[in-house]
Chains A and B, each alone.
Chain A
Amino acid sequence: MTLSAPARWALRVFMGFGLTFIYVPLLLVLVNSFNGDRTFAWPPHDWTTRWWAAAWDNDGARQALLTSIRAGLGATAIALVLGTMVAFAVQRFAFFGRDTVSLLIVLPIALPGIVTGIALDSAWRSVMGDLGVSKGMFSVIVGHATFCVVTVYNNVLARLRRTGTNLEDASADLGASPLQTFRYVTFPLIRSALLAGGLLAFALSFDEIIVTTFTAGPGVTTLPIWIFNNLFRPNQAPVVNVVAAVLIVLSVIPVWLAQRLAGPEAGASRT
């Protein structure tokens, strides 16, 4: 449709306001991490980098970061395997219940996190506890992997839909074994989708707090749990501020990577 010039300008201004709305709070956290005041008087009176040094030396935060990375890697590995398998099954085969399968994969993110969390919690208390498996890192990874599968599934499925099977057929016609075809044709085709999906899965796991709260055993503190535990402690406020600022800065990396790997559609769904 042909939009009038004022309409275009109105949309442009609206976009500007929208982006301002999105970025001002994040910028504020960055600015505040250099705020010299312990109590965060606004506007800040003096500036300092000592909170950054304090955060660097904070053992709790560092341990939590490691725990988060471990949980994220575990969940991502499981999600990569399971998500790819389902994507191939759904895209390459027509079978009874295919719609149900794709609904089942979406369900863990379509239902509120607290439902997934309390469901895993009650299953662990009522069933796994009786079997002698107590909550810990394992239960966290199981919980995270369950809702991470969908990110890999979405990315690989989109890629498979776009590429079709012509190249694989050609490879088979030329005498390649199925294994060779997978190694030299199929895998390179889906590699960047796997990386993008895996990246999203890792980020989703890294950021997850509700499911983690319900599945983490004692002693398993991921970074979001650490932040939340320290959020209401006035003493820790400056360190929390720095950790928050670091997370904002780091969030640029996966976006940059995903853009390079899979183009703008990489993150088009939550997930």
Chain B
Amino acid sequence: MTSLGSYLHRHPRLRLAGLLSAPLLWLVVAYLGALAVLLVSAFWTVNGFTGGVVRQFSLANFRTILSEEVYRAVTLRSLGVAAAVTVICIVLAVPMAFFMAKVASARSRHWLVIAILTPLWASYLVKAYAWRILLANGGPVDTLLGGPGNGPGYGLFATVLVLSYLWLPYMILPIYAGLERLPDSLLEASADLGARAGRTFRAVVVPILIPSTFAGSIFTFSLSLGDYITVQIVGGKTQLIGNLVYANIGAANNLPFAAAIATIPVLIMVIYLVAVRRSGALEEL
């Protein structure tokens, strides 16, 4: 063992190969391989009579997606939900993270981080379920607003609200981490040079916030774009891309068509990742 260790120590290339081989094999075979199968099967079709998959190249799925209005409507709705959730999370997260990083005392900062982290560990389903109870007809929100039917109930609004609730910590934490790295002395220097709070915020704080916010938005955007569970729990009749994929895999048993629909969020996320990559967002994840 010792001689092997020394041998490896003298040959860094060999060490690198040893370190990389297993993880890359896993990610390339298990993950990229699966994605490749997904993309290939998007070009297959299902035999209408037997229900069997026809492994033959065809553009039929994509032609359907592009020509039928419902797919465009669902894609736009999903994009709108993902964008709305991201904006709501940013609006809520920036003041909270700023307070945590720059206003609160070191002691309470520690506790605030714990307070933000803890619900991150509570189950996703439990949180969505909590909102199902809250928003139920005649539930606490209705009662608060003066009786059954006065609250928003289940639907598109509830979906956006609950998704924002679920992903808020994913936005707070990277912004907080970014702000924490910003030295207080920079803020003081800006003030000493005569800048008021607003000017300092624009010129010093915002440039720090941009990559962190993009990092957070990758989660809020991507998680909202692919969600179908929250939609089923509080969305009422709302349909997002995730629901279409799920319905085609389950009830319709049309895996190729589900795969074709799933290429829509992949395409959107790849464009999104490439767009935010230059801001340094990926290093902040």
Interface residues of A (CB under 8 A from B): 1-4, 7-8, 11-12, 14-15, 18-19, 21-23, 25-26, 28-29, 32, 40-43, 78, 81-83, 85-86, 88-89, 93, 95, 101-116, 118-123, 125-127, 142, 145-146, 149-150, 154, 177-179, 203, 206-207, 209-210, 214, 223-224, 227-228, 231, 240, 244, 247-248, 251-252, 254-255, 258-259, 264-265, 267-271
Contact = CB atoms under 8 A, between A and B. Distances in A.
8 contacts: A18-B92, A104-B32, A112-B223, A112-B242, A114-B246, A118-B258, A209-B124, A224-B124
A267 B121 CA distance: 10
Interface stretch (B59-67, B69-77, B152-160, B187-195): B187-195
Contact of A209 (B53, B92, B121, B229): B229
Contact of B30 (A106, A122, A142): A142
A113 B122 contact: no
Given A3-B103, A29-B129, A203-B121, A149 B173 contact: no
B125 A114 contact: no
Given A25-B131, A251-B121, A1 B187 contact: yes
B134 A28 contact: yes
Nearest to A104: B27
Contacts of A209: 124-125, 229
B282 to A, nearest CB: 6
Interface residues on B, range: 35 or more
B269 A112 contact: yes
B265 A1 contact: no
Contact of B34 (A43, A119, A231): A119
B57 to A, nearest CB: 14
A215 B113 CA distance: 34
Contacts of A112: 222-223, 225-227, 242, 265, 269
Given A119-B37, A178-B5, A228-B125, 18 more contacts: A1-B188, A11-B98, A26-B126, A29-B129, A29-B133, A42-B136, A78-B26, A114-B241, A116-B34, A118-B262, A123-B34, A123-B38, A207-B123, A210-B228, A247-B122, A251-B122, A252-B118, A255-B114
B208 interface: no
Contacts of B32: 104
A229 B168 CA distance: 26
A125 B116 CA distance: 40
A12 B95 CA distance: 9
A14 B112 CA distance: 13
B251 interface: no
Contact of A21 (B165, B190, B195): B165
Interface in B123-143: 123-127, 129-134, 136, 138-140, 143
Contacts of B41: 122, 126
B119 A23 contact: yes
B245 interface: yes
